[in-house]
Amino acid sequence: MIGAFAVGLVLALAITVGSSMVITNTAAPEPVNEPLYNYGDR
């Protein structure tokens, strides 16, 4: 249980860092954010 929770936190951090890097690279926050957050919810 704890291990799976730790993996989830690491994946959440990786998604947030990756989305922020993509936003800085593309400079298009709205189209980039929506697919990433939708994929994270699934």
Residue 34 has pLDDT above 80, yes or no: no
Per the model's pLDDT, the better-predicted residue between 6 and 42 turns out to be 6
Per the model's pLDDT, the better-predicted residue between 37 and 6 turns out to be 6
Per the model's pLDDT, the better-predicted residue between 9 and 25 turns out to be 9
The model's pTM is 0.40
Do residues 37 and 23 touch, judged by C-beta distance below 8 A? Answer: no
Residue 36: domain span: 2-41
pLDDT band per the 50, 70, 90 thresholds, residue 22: low
Please give the tally of structural domains in the chain: 1
pLDDT band per the 50, 70, 90 thresholds, residue 36: low
Do residues 10 and 17 touch, judged by C-beta distance below 8 A? Answer: no
Question: What 3-state DSSP class applies to 1?
Answer: coil
